[in-house]
């Protein structure tokens, strides 16, 4: 007689762990194309401070329990992009500055990157 062992897929197992142990589920109050301010905690040695990064959200990706978003801004003619995790303890808050004048027709605004 053969005994079959039921094993969960890694994706389902990860989802269950994240749902059970994530302390807070931050809601997305912004979309692709919005201008946001991301307040990020930076730790340098024994000191910590909050750094604000303001720019355009160019993409949101990942599953619900492990979502990332990328923000782009231009500093002195040089493009700077940062990717943040929604549920990261280092991201203190995400402030919506303003919505775009027109809704973007794409999921990812990679055309904002000059090639």
pLDDT tens for each residue of 61-111 = 987 777 899 999 999 989 999 999 988 889 999 999 988 777 787 778 877
The residue ranges of every structural domain in the chain are 27-112
Please give the pLDDT value at position 37: 96
- Please, what's the largest Cα pairwise distance for the chain? 72
Query: What pLDDT score does 94 carry?
Result: 92
Of the chain, the percentage scoring pLDDT greater than 70 comes to 88
Residues 6+ apart with CB under 8 A from 37: 52, 53, 54, 94, 95, 97
State the CATH class of domain 27-112: mainly beta
Which pLDDT value is given to residue 73? 94
Residue 25 has a pLDDT of: 58
């Amino acid at each position: 007689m053969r005994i079959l062992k039921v094993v969960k897929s890694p994706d389902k197992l990860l989802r269950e762990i994240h749902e059970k142990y994530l302390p807070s589920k931050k809601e997305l109050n912004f979309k692709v194309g919005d201008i946001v301010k991301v307040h990020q905690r930076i730790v340098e040695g024994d000191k910590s401070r909050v750094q604000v990064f303001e720019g355009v959200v160019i993409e949101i990706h990942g599953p619900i329990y492990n979502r990332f978003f990328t923000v782009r801004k231009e500093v002195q003619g040089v493009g700077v992009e940062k990717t943040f995790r929604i549920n990261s303890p280092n991201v203190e808050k995400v402030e919506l500055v303003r919505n775009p004048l027109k809704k973007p027709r794409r999921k990812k605004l990679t055309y904002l990157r000059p090639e």
